[in-house]
Amino acid sequence: MSGGAWPTAILPRMSTSGVARNTGLAFLTQIVTAAFTAGLTIFLVRRLGPDEYGLFSLALGIAGLLFGRSGAGDLFGGVRDVISGSSDPVTIQLTAADDFDPFGDDRESADDVGAAIDGDPATAWTTESYDNRDITVLKPGVGLVLSADQVAQLHELILTSPTNDWSASFYVAETNPGSFDAWGEPVATLEGIEAGTVTVDLGGTEGGAVLIWITNQGDGSGGDEVTIAEARLTGVPE
Ligand SMILES: [Ca+2]
Ligand SMILES: [Ca+2]
């Protein structure tokens, strides 16, 4: 074996081991931080009574501001989240879908509503066909009501649809109120929605039901209609 071959043969391996070591250190740091966070949280939850919680929460808030996005800031934020019960949004299970055509015949492809929440992208709910893609020429709109298994701070409604260039407003209520007026004001309105996946920001609005109120059917296939293959909801449970 000639000595001249060593540097090129060894360098890549050393480099790889360096990366592995750094990854291992980062992982170890995360484990230690997580363990420390868990221990501190348990200690604080046991020690602090309800009266002290407010002061402690304020202190954590100030500390979080001071530390910003540093590791210490993340640590304080994590402890505060655990104690206050807040956390990242999770999937909120949809348990029912109902067609909604209060200004028409009270039916809107009622037999297919379940297909919008069955977890199968190959099945879908589709509005009825209308002569004009702008439904508001005929009536205020048609809709689909999605009901969840709980009330939550709703984060996002994620829709999958093959329809292009459609428009809708999105309403939130605690439960399906039945009448259109009872939904109040829309939380979001989107126009010119492109085919594919659209994420509707529900802004943390508290609720357990969402109305997709379709006002323009875009250029849906097979005539003017909007197809919704799948709907998914995320939020922070209460
Ligand atoms: Ca109808
Ligand atoms: Ca489906």
Structural domains of the chain sorted by starting position, each given as residue range(s) with its CATH number in brackets? 3-84 (no CATH), 90-237 (2.60.120.260)
150 C-alpha vs ligand 2 centroid, how far in Å? 21
Q: Which residues pair with 170 in a beta bridge?
A: 188, 212
The alpha carbon of 142 and the centre of ligand 1 are apart by a number of angstroms equal to 7
Report whether 238 contacts 92 (CB < 8 A): no
Tell the burial category of 22 from Cβ atoms under 10 Å away from its Cβ (0-12, 13-18, 19+).
Answer: exposed
Total H helices, total E strands in the chain:
3, 9
What does the pLDDT profile of the chain (238 residues) look like in tens digits? Answer: 444 444 444 444 444 444 555 555 565 656 555 665 566 555 655 666 556 655 555 555 555 555 554 555 566 666 666 666 667 999 999 999 999 999 999 999 999 999 999 999 999 999 999 989 999 999 999 999 999 999 999 999 999 999 999 999 999 999 999 999 999 999 999 999 999 999 999 999 999 999 999 999 998 765 679 999 999 999 999 8
The ligand that comes nearest to the alpha carbon of residue 107 is 1
- pTM surpassing 0.75? no
Distance from the CA of 104 to the center of ligand 1, in angstroms? Answer: 5
Which ligand neighbours the alpha carbon of 162 most closely? 2
Q: Calculate how far, in angstroms, residue 177's C-alpha sits from the geometric centre of ligand 1.
A: 19
- Closest ligand to C-alpha of residue 144 is 1
Ligand 1 midpoint to CA 105 (Å): 5
CB 125 within 8 A of CB 115: yes
How far from 22 is each of 18, 31, 68, 74, CA to CA, in Å? Answer: 6, 14, 24, 21
Is residue 161 within 8 Å of 216, Cβ to Cβ?
no
